[in-house]
Amino acid sequence: MTAHGTPRNHDHAHRWPEISFQDRMDTVRFDVHERAHIVVDGSKCEGCSTQHCVVACPANLFVPTSDGGIVFNYEQCFECGTCYLVCNVEGAITWTYPDGGHGVVFRRT
């Protein structure tokens, strides 16, 4: 068993290249299909107090608008399922898999 103490001279911030969210998503390959496999009914979102999808979606695809609604883009989606699980408003999210052969293609995962 080893115990590391408090850091001494460690300036541990920013020791790897900064990466913007778009650059992060650009590391992922998507074969986008013209059909949106996830559809968000923005009118349902207007009454949503939690907007859990906004913080939980790993691909950051749910963007809140100033009038309390949500703008959603399906293209760079991991097809993980997080959004439909954390959303509490019935009917706000219609979730399907993309058509066969399309969507995310992982390579080193």
Partner 1 sequence: MDDRSLTTTDCDVVVVGAGPAGTCAAIVLARAGLDVVLLERGPFPGSKNMYGGVVYPRILDELIPSWWEEAPVQRWVTRRSTMVLTPDQALTVDFRSQRWGAPPYNGATAYRPDFDHWLAAHAEAAGAQLVCSTTVTGLLRDAGGRVVGVRTDRPDGDLRTRLVIACDGVNSFLAKEAGLYPPVDAANYTLGVKETLALPKDVIDERFGVRGREGVDIEILGGTGGVNGGGFVYTNLDTVAVGAVLKLPKLAAQRRRPEEIIAGLKSHPAIAPLVEGAEVKEYSAHLIPEAGLSMMPRLAGDGMLVAGDAAAMCLAAGIWLEGVNFAMASGMYAGRAAVEALRAGDLSTAGLAGYERRLSSTFVLRDHRKLRRAPSLVLSDRVQHVYPELITSVVERMFRVDNPAPKPGLRRIVRDETKRLGVRTRDLVRDGIDGLRSFG
Partner 2 sequence: MTAVPSTAPAVVAVCLKWTPSPFDGGPLGPDEGDDRFAGVSPADRAALELALQLSDAIGASVTAIAAGPSAADRVLRDAVAAGATRAVRLDMAAGSDSRDVAFELAQVVADACVVLCGDYSLDRGSGAVPAFVAHHRRCAQALGLVSVDVTASASSVAGAPDGELTIHAVRRLDGGRREVLAVPTPCVLSVEGSVASLRRAPLRRALAARSAPVEVIATPPAHHHGAPAIVTPYRPRARTMPAPAGEDVLGRLRALTDAGTSGGRGETVELAPREAAARIVDTLRGWGYLD
- Footprint of ligand SF4 on this chain (CB under 6 A)? 38, 40, 44-45, 48, 50-53, 57-59, 61-62, 70, 77-83, 87, 89, 92-93
User: Pattern of binders to partner 2 over 45-84, x per CB under 8 A?
Assistant: ----------------------------------------
DSSP state of 54: H
Is residue 59 within 8 A of residue 21, CB to CB? The reply is no
By beta-carbon proximity to partner 1, the closer residue of 32 and 86 is: 86
Quick one: 83 exposed, middle or buried, by C-beta within 10 A (0-12, 13-18, 19+)? Answer: buried
